[in-house]
Structure 1
Amino acid sequence: MRQRYIAFLSLFTCLPALAVTFQTRLENVEWTAAGDQFECRLAQPIADFGSGEFVRKAGEQPTFRLKAFGNPFGPGSATLLAAAAPWQPGRGDVNLGAVRVSDGEVPFNSSEAQAGRLLAGLLDGRSPVVRHHGREGGEPLEIRMLPVKFKKAYSDFQACSAKLLPMNFDQIKQAEIGFPGGGVDLDAQAKAKLAVMAAYIKADPTVNHVELDGHSDNAGNRLTNRELSRRRALAVMDYFKANGMAENQIVVRFHGERYPLVPNISEANRARNRRVQIHLERGVPPAVAPTEKSPAVKAAATS
């Protein structure tokens, strides 16, 4: 296979220059896999250009992107291909569609579906290729990656992906815990959702501020509803504290029936309104330790 590929590259260099092509020489091709609990990357450096890489964030499937040293692209679109190997006659390139291109170090990110087909193509000996018409009046550009040495790095990438957290910060920073039964105790579904959030908070020390807003339906009187919303918010706070979060990083507010998600006109709607809304923030200095008498535990103003 190596000899065939070298022969192809020799032929390719004799063809008229229809586009400016960036491609690493066969003998210099390397794939590397790296990452942590938050993100895994599978990359190939591209000579004189930058790199092409697959990125999988916690809670998501991989996407494909280019990283450029300079700013070779102008705004517009490019075509993404899973190009056939030259030693496999009869196999055409697979057009995976267009990607929107912009200026900057990372000119585009593919869709998850496009990245999945590129990975499958690499396992089948195909090359990821990006074709862009270039800036106005400029030459077309082609960026090509090679499938050699791919499978070992891909195995490492899969091993990294298996250790990713279930969700990333953007997915987890806003959440809602329900109390469909009308009480103040956390049910199994609530505990499962909170367990995912607590695991993320432990893994990411930059998340050091949590805001909890308790709510009720309108089934009781105003004072009873405020007390129910307070106890629900405190139940969530107690869960976070039991899982290692400091009390002075948690702010609790309770609002009673004042802010329904939906009108309280049916039991199903009332169940939706019995909730605690959670908001996570990064990099906020710890607040005063929240107790029922401290400024961090706030009742909504009553009219």
Structure 2
Amino acid sequence: MRQRYLALLSVFASLPALAMNFQTRLENVEWKVAGDQFECRLGQPVANFGSAEFVRRAGEQAVFRLNSVSHLLGTGSATLLAAAAPWQPGRGDINLGSVRLGHGETLLTSSQSQASGLINGLLEGRMTLIRSQSGSQPVEIRLLSARFGQAFGEYQACAAKLLPMNYDQIRLSDVGFPRGLELDTAAKARLDKLLAFMKADPSVNHVQLDGHSDNSGNRLVNRDLSRRRALAVQDYLLAHGLSESQITLRFHGESYPLVANSNAANRARNRRVSIELSRVEAPPSAAPAADSPAVLATDKPPAKPL
């Protein structure tokens, strides 16, 4: 009898551990859409686990996030699949690769290509499946495609209203002056995006302008050219709604080239104005803002665009 008992234990020990599954019941599945000019989200609560969502920031494509206050997925990585639904016989799962697990409330964030694959799968009626290993026990989270199509339409309508760029993308930028001192069409388009962002987010309320030149002239001439380029950008911003107290202007001549001034193309790249946006709060005891922007000739280098 003892031998038979030990043999049974050996058989059960060799069987794979049953997966811990999390899935909202079909009749309770709900996709929720929320967002504004800066970000759109399309998510589904997962019963007894947390939530999953597609997040699209302005200027970017969507990523997929899984959120939970628990850490049932364990550590390491999880696999993302656009899995065939039980009512889709003959279809195979689409493995979209692995993603590293985090330690905070957001357990994982996919790449943009992985999120695109999951969205396409849901539109085809597939399930989103997240599979991981917590110790010796597999863990699976499933998102059903029920009611996804209508919610995705609302999500697309939200995405159509996103700003062209997000704060990380627009905070540091360069406006080029490849031909002299005039703002060209590309420069004005860049400044228009900056102005649109500041209008949408009034907390971004300060602009620092750093003028630059190539090394074609002498030091004093180059310093003056860099100042005039910064002034050209400032004048455009003032003409389109910014106040003088929101602008700090600096100029550096040829001191901080982007590239070596070794040929005409490189010199054209170095003729530019670097722009840095920021959120500035005046202290309660601060003096009233000056009537004109700060203008500085400085050797302190400007911040570099991302």
Partner of residue 55, structure 2: 55
Given residue 227 of structure 2, which amino acid in structure 1 is its aligned partner? R
Q: Partners of 1:52 and 1:290 in 2: how far apart?
A: 50
TM-score (norm 1): 0.88
Q: CA deviation at 1:89?
A: 1.0
Q: CA deviation at 1:301?
A: 5.0
Q: CA deviation at 1:145?
A: 0.5
What's the secondary structure of 1:219's corresponding residue?
coil
Q: Partners of 1:273 and 1:168 in 2: how far apart?
A: 25
Partner of residue 80, structure 2: 80
Q: Partners of 2:264 and 2:116 in 1: how far apart?
A: 43
Given residue 100 of structure 1, which amino acid in structure 2 is its aligned partner? R
Partner of residue 8, structure 1: none
Partner of residue 202, structure 1: 199
Moved over 6 A (4+): none
Q: Partners of 1:222 and 1:242 in 2: how far apart?
A: 30
Equivalent pair of 2:222/2:254 in contact (CA under 8 Å): yes
Cα distance per residue 1:87-125 (max 9 Å; x no partner): 111111111110111111101111111111111110111
Given residue 269 of structure 2, which amino acid in structure 1 is its aligned partner? R
Partner of residue 125, structure 2: 125
Partner of residue 9, structure 1: none
TM-score (norm 2): 0.87
Q: CA deviation at 1:17?
A: 7.1
Given candidates 261, 267, 274, the residue that maps to 1:277 is: 274
Cα distance per residue 1:8-37 (max 9 Å; x no partner): xxxxxxxx9711111111111101111100
Equivalent pair of 1:73/1:102 in contact (CA under 8 Å): no
Given candidates 165, 168, 176, the residue that maps to 1:167 is: 165
Distance 1:25 1:283, change over 3 A: farther
Equivalent pair of 2:77/2:101 in contact (CA under 8 Å): yes
Q: Partners of 1:211 and 1:290 in 2: how far apart?
A: 16
Q: Partners of 1:192 and 1:63 in 2: how far apart?
A: 28
Given residue 121 of structure 1, which amino acid in structure 2 is its aligned partner? G
Given residue 253 of structure 2, which amino acid in structure 1 is its aligned partner? G
Given residue 165 of structure 1, which amino acid in structure 2 is its aligned partner? L
Q: Does 1:100 align with 2:100?
A: yes
Partner of residue 138, structure 2: 140
What's the secondary structure of 1:140's corresponding residue?
strand
Q: Partners of 2:57 and 2:299 in 1: how far apart?
A: 41
Q: Partners of 2:104 and 2:138 in 1: how far apart?
A: 18
Q: Partners of 2:290 and 2:269 in 1: how far apart?
A: 30
Equivalent pair of 2:69/2:105 in contact (CA under 8 Å): yes
The percent of aligned pairs where both chains have the same amino acid is 61
Given residue 138 of structure 2, which amino acid in structure 1 is its aligned partner? P
Cα distance per residue 1:59-94 (max 9 Å; x no partner): 011111111133333330001011101111111111
Given residue 122 of structure 1, which amino acid in structure 2 is its aligned partner? L
Q: CA deviation at 1:58?
A: 0.4
Equivalent pair of 1:73/1:103 in contact (CA under 8 Å): no
Equivalent pair of 1:173/1:279 in contact (CA under 8 Å): yes
Q: Partners of 1:201 and 1:215 in 2: how far apart?
A: 24
What's the secondary structure of 1:232's corresponding residue?
helix
Partner of residue 13, structure 1: none
Equivalent pair of 1:74/1:103 in contact (CA under 8 Å): no
Partner of residue 219, structure 2: 222
Equivalent pair of 2:176/2:269 in contact (CA under 8 Å): yes
Which is further off, 219-228 or 39-48?
219-228
**Gaps spanning 5+ residues in structure 2: where?**
1-15, 301-306
Cα distance per residue 1:189-210 (max 9 Å; x no partner): 1001111111111111121121
Q: CA deviation at 1:288?
A: 4.4
Given residue 22 of structure 1, which amino acid in structure 2 is its aligned partner? F
Q: Does 1:289 align with 2:277?
A: no
Partner of residue 260, structure 1: 257
